Amino acid sequence: MIVSNPAAKDKGNGASGHATIRDVARAAAVSTATVSATVNASAYVSPALQQRVWAAIERVGYQPDAVARSLRKGVTRMLGLLLADITNPFTTAVVHSMEATAHARGYTLMLCNSDEDAAKEETHLRLLRTHRADGVVLMPVGTGADYAARMARLLRIPAVLVDRRIRDLALDLVTTDGAAGTRAAIAHILALGHRRIGIVTGPPGVSAGDERLAGYRAALDGQGIPFDPRLARSGDFRHGPAYAATRAILEGEDPPTALFACNNLMAIGMMRAIADLGLSCPGDLSVACFDDFEWATAFQPRLTTVAQPTDAIGATAVELLLDRLAGAAPDEPRQVVLAPRLIVRDSCAAPSR
Amino acid sequence: MIVSNPAAKDKGNGASGHATIRDVARAAAVSTATVSATVNASAYVSPALQQRVWAAIERVGYQPDAVARSLRKGVTRMLGLLLADITNPFTTAVVHSMEATAHARGYTLMLCNSDEDAAKEETHLRLLRTHRADGVVLMPVGTGADYAARMARLLRIPAVLVDRRIRDLALDLVTTDGAAGTRAAIAHILALGHRRIGIVTGPPGVSAGDERLAGYRAALDGQGIPFDPRLARSGDFRHGPAYAATRAILEGEDPPTALFACNNLMAIGMMRAIADLGLSCPGDLSVACFDDFEWATAFQPRLTTVAQPTDAIGATAVELLLDRLAGAAPDEPRQVVLAPRLIVRDSCAAPSR
DNA sequence: AACGATTAGCTAATCGTTTCGGAGGCCATG
DNA sequence: CATGGCCTCCGAAACGATTAGCTAATCGTT
């Protein structure tokens, strides 16, 4: 039996698409107020009437209209989700956890992707406002000096920042301690005996990347190793530029014996460059990167990574936001910085030279 | 200068959060009908008045309320996005393209993730209905015999299926030709001289996986090679089970000289198992898989894959759905099957034995 | 028996738009 | 000058829920 498209068929409840609360009221011979009260348990309704109302609801196939409810209550139970890049596996891991927490608390997410484009971000923000989202989870893309001011003007709803800070804009925030994570990774590499360690960084100005670079310098400092700018190049958090940056570092004079990529995407470009240069890992070169991901263990050798607690990040971000919506938050912004975890696998070894 | 949380400050337009169309009307000394007409260009308004209205809008900082508009018009310009697994890179690639097309057409996506769980799927579908989504993009998770009937009852809004069919339920659909893609990959492996080729399949009953298995059998058939059930095991589209399936196949008697994974996640498990068994690729074993992904080229050797046209899938799905919403679609469902592309890299070579 | 307190359910206003039908004003025509 | 037909704009009724305020009815107390 082939069931045909149900949307094309008669809905079975009259001409209009949906049964309304008035249909229920009529069917149960009560007022709409009573129906509303029994559905929401917002006022006393005698057991007998409740029974009748529920039966009527069942009979006419009533489903409350969230749009009408939102209009009346001034609250939509929708959260905007404004992402810098939805194809990044770190992002999707975080989103996965956000979706679960939000739905568990009765909220739905409106998905927007800014594609690392500040103009799109602005458009989306405006859209979220006209749709009356109760709040926004934001992975911001901007870096400029006036960015904070522009966002402040645009952001007229409660917001929580994830992963990246906005300089000079104090908002709720959840992020990972990038400096500590990178410091731990570099310390691990140093402990194996390396002294020349290269790093491919994010675009300058983006907090997440800057912190990681700072962690790298701190680790070097700890061993009294001076920072060599020839060993640090920006890969713009993307794999293409990271490929070029890696080659530039390795083809320079006095190349490093180990490399660190400041995010997952750049690790791809780095691995590709290393392969193209005919170098073996960890024989010729040790490698590690920020962000853990499923594929890390499928590589040969399995990649040593700094894992962010993606589940906690997503859940915390949504909870921070919902607390604020509920008025259960102090006025000053709360900033949660979670601890990363170094996962040592096989891609780092003692230097051969 | 630190800009503080703008949501905590005065909104600058009276006590209420937003300026309404009445505020604009009052400020411009016109009726709300005129404001609506100029904002939507839905009726003639003299240039002079238009000017006044726009000025007033600017002055009071008016932004139309999509909730109220939806209630009145009976249309929300929101699409439900009900995914089986948002962390899968194939899914996110498709979602990326859907988001772009939907926003370009003025639609917003409501994100729901069913986590391969039919019960969650049902809950989310109900939620999307109460939120009055105009339509749904669905990557379904169910397989049972009564699944089609349950979905038909639940699905009271236009829907388009992506990637997977629902048996006995005729709906708009966009998918990749899994049989053709797998056939091409297996033919490539056969052409290299392999005769014993193993396959790790998806959960039986899920159309996407079943088709790929069928393509495998067809390719073998073409060379007169009989199907050997010991070489085909289910990995349930997940990496854990795929790891076990791969080991089982390779540790059996008369093991294959080549392996095919029916999706990206299972390729991870497969590569891990191969490494753990101490086998080299493509020296001891050739490997290919369905689904291309960024990491495929970072592997050593770079993986040969069957790429799905993810951009086209996402865009087509949304367009099919919007066409139907606009009434610009025939009653009978349209099914778009796109061609996959075999990307030959380095993970397949002639058998050593 | 009268009165006030309490209770159960209803009436109607409201949220912010869109849109239908009309109301004037203006022009051309006979 | 009356008539009719535009043109512009406005008033008010929806859309489907929630909820403040009200009306009876019931009950206990004196």
Please tell me the distance in Å from B232's CA to the nearest CA on chain A. Answer: 21
Chain B residues whose CB is inside 8 A of the A158 CB are 5, 7
CB-closest option in A109, A129, A268 to B298: A268
| Structure token pair of residue A319 | 């909870």
**d(C-alpha B130, C-alpha B70), whole Å:** 13
Q: pLDDT band for position A171 (50/70/90)? A: very high
Nearest residue by alpha-carbon distance to C1' of C13:
A72
Q: What is the pLDDT of residue A145?
A: 83
Residues B79, B133: contact at Cβ < 8 Å? yes
A34 CB contact with strand C at below 7 Å: yes
Edge-first strand listing for the sheet containing B304-307: B232-234, B197-201, B258-261, B286-290, B304-307, B341-343
A11–B268 C-beta distance less than 8 A: no
Residues, CB < 7 Å to strand D? A 16, 18, 20-22, 32-33, 36-37, 39-40, 42, 62-65, 68-69, 71-73; B 29-34, 43-46, 48-49, 68, 71-72, 74
Q: Residue B111: list chain A partners with CB under 8 A.
A: 81, 95, 99, 108-111
Strand partners, B290: B306
The tokens of B236 are what?
Answer: 């349930």
Q: Span B1-73: which CATH code? A: 1.10.260.40
User: By C-alpha distance, which of A16, A9, A58 is closest to B169?
Assistant: A9
Can you tell me the distance from the alpha carbon of A318 to that of A303, in angstroms, rounded to the nearest whole number?
A: 31
Q: Per-residue pLDDT for B266 more than 60? A: yes
pLDDT tens profile A208-266: 999 999 999 999 999 999 999 999 999 999 999 999 999 999 999 999 999 999 999 99
Buried b (16+ CB within 10 A) or exposed e, B74-108: eebbbbbbbbbbbbbbbbbbbbbbbbbbbbeeebb
Q: Two tokens at B266?
A: 């299972």
Strand order across the A341-343 sheet: A232-234, A197-201, A258-261, A286-290, A304-307, A341-343
The alpha-helical segments, DSSP class H, found in B229-296 are 239-251, 264-276
Q: Which one of A86, A148, A294 has the shortest CB-CB distance to B268?
A: A294
B80 in contact with A, Cβ within 8 Å: no
pLDDT given for residue A13 in this prediction: 40
- Rounded Cα–Cα distance for residues A161 and A148 (Å): 13
Chain A window 119-178: which residues touch B at a Cβ cutoff of 8 Å?
124, 126-127, 129-132, 148-149, 152-153, 155-159, 168-172
CA–CA distance, B112 with A104 (Å, rounded to integer): 12
- What percentage of chain B carries pLDDT values higher than 70? 95
Q: What is the interface size between A and B, counted as CB pairs within 8 Å?
A: 194
User: Quick check: B300 pLDDT over 80?
Assistant: yes
The SS3 assignment for B58 reads helix
B189 conformational bin, left if phi > 0, alpha if psi -120 to 50, beta if neither: alpha
Would you list the DSSP string of A48-91? HHHHHHHHHHHHHT----HHHHHHHHT---EEEEEES-TTSHHH
Strand C nucleotides within 7 Å of a protein CB: 7-12, 14-21
Looking at the complex, does the CB of residue A298 fall below 8 Å from at least one CB of chain B?
yes
3-class SS at A316? helix
Flag if B299 and A298 touch (Cβ within 8 Å): yes
**With bands split at pLDDT 50, 70 and 90, how would you rate the model's confidence at B1?**
very low
Nearest CB to A95; choose among B86, B130, B168: B86
User: Band of the pLDDT at B353, cuts 50, 70, 90?
Assistant: low
Residue in A3, A92, A275 closest to B169 by CB: A3
Question: For A295, which of B124, B268, B331 is closest by C-beta distance?
Answer: B268
Asked if residue A72 keeps its beta carbon closer than 7 A to nucleic acid strand C, the reply is yes
The CATH number corresponding to B178-307 among 3.40.50.2300, 3.40.960.10, 3.40.50.10490, 3.30.420.40 equals 3.40.50.2300
Residue with tokens 């008045």: B49
Residue type, position B19, single letter: A
CA A48, C1' C5: Å apart? 24
> What does the pLDDT read at residue A341?
98
Q: What is the pLDDT of residues A257-302, one digit of tens each?
A: 999 999 999 999 999 999 999 999 999 999 999 999 999 998 888 9
Confirm whether any atom of chain C, the nucleic acid strand, is less than 7 Å from CB of B66. Answer: no
DSSP conformational letter for B153: H
Mean of the per-residue pLDDT values of chain B: 93
Q: How is chain A split into domains, by residue range?
A: 1-73, 178-307
Give pLDDT tens digits for B53-98. 999 999 999 999 999 999 999 999 999 999 999 999 999 999 999 9
Residue B236's φ and ψ, nearest 5 degrees, are 60, 20
Q: Which of A342, A347, A345, A346 is closest to A178 using CA atoms?
A: A342
| The pLDDT of residue A186 is above 80 | yes
Give the distance, in angstroms, between residue B46 CA and nucleotide C28 C1': 22
Asked whether residue B61's C-beta has any atom of DNA/RNA strand C within 7 A, the reply is: no
The tens digit of pLDDT for each residue in A147-167 reads 999 999 999 899 999 999 999
Chain A contact set for B159 (CB, 8 A): 7
Q: Which nt is closest to the CA of B53, judged by C1'?
A: D9
Give the single-character DSSP code of A262: S
A247: number of CA atoms within 13 Å, CB side?
A: 12
Write the DSSP assignment of A191-228 as a string of letters. HTT---EEEEE--TT-HHHHHHHHHHHHHHHHTTPPP-
Tell me the residue type at B284: D
Q: Which residues of B touch A150 (CB under 8 A)?
A: none
3-state DSSP assignment of residue B326: coil
Predicted TM-score (pTM) above 0.85: yes
Sole residue written with tokens 């001289």: B193
> pLDDT of A39-68, one tens digit each?
999 999 999 999 999 999 999 999 999 999
Q: Which of B313, B294, B292 is nearest to B100 (CA)?
A: B313
Q: Using 50, 70 and 90 to split pLDDT, how confident is the model at B8?
A: very low
Which residues, other chains included, contact A175 with Cβ-Cβ below 8 Å and sequence gap of 6+? A161, A162, A163, A164, A165, A207, A208, A313, A335, A336, A337, A338
The one-character DSSP state at B81 is: E
A275 vs A247: CA distance, rounded Å: 11
A67-84 residue pLDDT tens = 999 999 999 999 999 999
Q: Do B86 and A95 contact (CB within 8 A), yes or no? A: yes
